Amino acid sequence: MQEKTWAEKLLAAADIRIGGDNPWDIQIHNPAVYDRVLTQGSIGLGESYMDGWWSCKNLDQFFNKLFLANIPGHITMSWPALVDYIKVKILNLQKGKRAFEVAYRHYDLGNDFFKAMVGPSLMYSCGYWNNSKDLDSAQFAKMDLICRKLNLKKGQRILEIGSGWGSFAKYAAENYGVAVTGVTVSKEQLKFSKDYCKGLPIEFRLQDYRQIHEKFDHVVSIAMFEAVGLKNFTAYMQVVKRCLKDDGLFLLHTIGLPAPDSQFDPWLNKYIFPNGFVPSLRDIFQASEKLFITEDVHNFGADYDRTLMEWHKNFQLTWPKFEKHYGQKFYRMWEYYLLMCAGLSRSRTTQLWHIVFSQNGVPGGYQSIR
């Protein structure tokens, strides 16, 4: 079979064997998988895994080896993926009501489900593992790192664009004495966070960031920029500028790709983060360079690998509670998502940046905090 020979040669370059004994080797259960991947690329690979056509003992290792050898770069982009890529470049896929699509397709899956996976910290973003021994301490360390990078002071008013389940707002209010206004496009997150932060000087709104017209001492955005869309990066930065006081700081926490025009995985866009676009540093700086001074760039992208593996562990341990509701195909989809992203991080194909901006430059210079 020509397709199988093609697959064997391609995977051999990444030290992956079909039917091999290593934990990163793959086992084929339906020979039609070869043609499916050849014609549909990444989407065919992911969908065939969801359908049970192939398996792998350690998917994270499989993907790490796949990305280190740049195997996806040797597979022709399928027509559906190519069309989606062109749409991202030409169309504004996050305009108006479409900005809310990622919420009801992803973040509104269920608060109990996400709580079980991400743990008590309720942070669905990369933890900071420097001197941290477990997931929760890594997440609280990340939140404290952000507070210190922004130099939060008691009585200040903070805007959080993409407030999640309220964990950062709660941490900042309780530990730094600030008031927080958080905006989200997720109805489920809004409902949970209002109850979670009851009694604190925190306000949550179901609101698109483009509708904010108020001044704040500082602005923070954690793992939301990936949903903004390339066509809206400059508009996003303009919103932050109009909302930020002259002496304020803006911290952007975002996943990133190493080069402009890198293609984020089409399967992830289709099944996990619809209409998403992961930026490069050039994308970010082109949108911000006439609006802000870049004070600090901190890359701790390797930490996402460990964070994702902890989420996957929690997901597996708590799955019996959710199996009846979500079903086996969802399980395989979610497992594929978490472990593919772990492989992306481990291979350093994706990055995680903290970028601190000021309006006019911090007098005397910004002191980097790690």
131's tokens = 């001197």
Active site residue 197: no
Tell me the C-alpha distance between 115 and 268, whole Å: 21
Give pairs for 73-78: CB < 8 Å, separation 24+.
74/10, 75/10, 75/37, 75/38, 75/41, 75/42, 76/41, 77/41, 77/263, 77/266, 78/39, 78/40, 78/41, 78/42, 78/43, 78/44, 78/266
Tell me the C-alpha distance between 203 and 99, whole Å: 21
Tell me the C-alpha distance between 37 and 3, whole Å: 9
In our burial notation (b when 16+ CB lie closer than 10 A, e otherwise), range 181-200 reads bbbbbbebbbebbeebbeee
8's tokens = 């064997």
Give pairs for 341-344: CB < 8 Å, separation 24+.
341/268, 341/304, 341/308, 342/60, 342/63, 342/64, 342/304, 342/305, 342/308, 342/309, 342/312, 343/59, 343/60, 343/61, 343/62, 343/63, 343/64, 343/65, 343/66, 343/67, 344/63, 344/67, 344/265
Active-site option among 56, 126, 147, 341: 341
Computed on alpha carbons and rounded to an integer, the radius of gyration of the chain in Å comes to 21
Tell me the β-bridge partners of 353: 254, 299
Tell me the C-alpha distance between 3 and 33, whole Å: 9
User: Which positions are catalytic?
Assistant: 341
